[in-house]
Amino acid sequence: MTVATTRTGQGGVDAPVTPPKIVRQRRVRPGLLGLAVLLIALGGLGSAFAVTSVRSTGSYLAVARDVSVGTVLSADDLVTVQVAGGQAIKPVPASQLDQVVGLRAAVALVPGSLLTPAQLTNEPMIGPDQQQIAIGLRADQVPARQLNPGDKLILVGTPTRNASENAVTRFDATVIDVAADDRSGAIAYLALASRDVPAVVVLAAEDRIAVVLAPAA
C-alpha cells in the first residue's frame, strides 16, 4: 500500500494520507445493449397493438343455436357479441339485425360462430321450373337420421310385381323443410321439377317410392 505524507510549515510530518481510489467504468456489451433496445421496441409494438385492438372493438352478430341450410333466420337464432379486430373476417354488424332476419341460411350455421354475409341468401328454395309437394315417410323410409333443408334426394319409383325392371323411374328433389309425423316418421316438403310432380304424386299414393340421400356436393 502506498502512503503519502504532507509536511507542515514547521517541518513536522502529519499522519499518512490514503490515496484516492480509482473507479473503473464497466464496459457495456454491445449484445446486451442491442437486446435492451429490442425489448423496448417490442414493448412499444405491444402497446400499439393493444390500443389498436381496443379501438377496433365492435358489436357483431353471432349464431345462438344450430341453424340448418335453407332455414329462415329469426331473431332468436342470433345473439350480439363484442369482438376486437373483427374487421378481418367481416362479420355482420349488430346494427343490421333487422336486415338479416328473414334471410335463409346458405350453409349450416354453428352456435358460437360469427355471422358473415356469405352465409346468407335471399334466394328461394324453389326454382322457377319447380313446384313444392309434401310426402309422408315412414321411419324406415327416411334415408338419414335427420333431413335438413337443402339436402338433395333421389326419389326412386319402385315397379309393380308384374312390371319389368325398365319400369323403374327416378326423380331429383331438394328438401325444403321437414316436420315430424305422428306415426314416428316424417313429412318431407320437397321441391321437384314441375314435369315430375304428377308421377311422384301417383307413386306416393301407391306407396311405391324409395328415398335416397344424394352425396353432398
CATH number of the domain enclosing 90: 3.90.1210.10
**134-138, 157-161, 166-170: lowest mean pLDDT where?**
166-170
pLDDT, one tens digit per residue, over 114-129 is: 999 989 988 877 888 9
Nearby residues of 204 by Cβ (< 8 Å), 6 or more positions away = 133, 135, 136
Angstrom distance (rounded) from CA 118 to CA 97: 15
What would the mean pLDDT of 163-178 be, rounded to a whole number? 82
> In this structure, is residue 19 part of a structural domain?
no
Higher pLDDT, 80 or 179: 80
For residue 194, the enclosing domain spans 130-213
**12-26, 77-91, 118-132, 176-190: lowest mean pLDDT where?**
12-26
Q: What is the pLDDT of residue 52?
A: 47
pLDDT band at 77 (very low <50, low <70, confident <90, very high): very high
Asked if 209 and 168 count as a contact pair (C-beta separation under 8 A), the reply is no
Q: What is the pLDDT of residue 106?
A: 82
Q: What is the pLDDT of residue 14?
A: 53
Task: Judge whether residue 38 has pLDDT over 80.
Answer: no
Q: Where are the beta strands (DSSP E) in 12-151?
A: 58-63, 78-83, 104-105, 120-121, 130-137
What would the mean pLDDT of 4-9 be, rounded to a whole number? 48
Structural domain ending residue among the three candidates 100, 123, 146 = 123
Question: What's the whole-model pTM score?
Answer: 0.53
42 plus 117 within the same structural domain = yes
Instruction: State what percent of residues in the chain have pLDDT above 70.
Output: 68
Task: Judge whether residue 62 has pLDDT over 70.
Answer: yes
> In this structure, is residue 15 part of a structural domain?
no
For residue 211, the cross-strand partners are: 155
112 plus 158 within the same structural domain = no
What would the mean pLDDT of 5-17 be, rounded to a whole number? 51
Tell me which amino acid residue 101 is: V
Structural domain ending residue among the three candidates 59, 90, 123 = 123
67 plus 84 within the same structural domain = yes
Mean pLDDT (the chain, rounded): 78
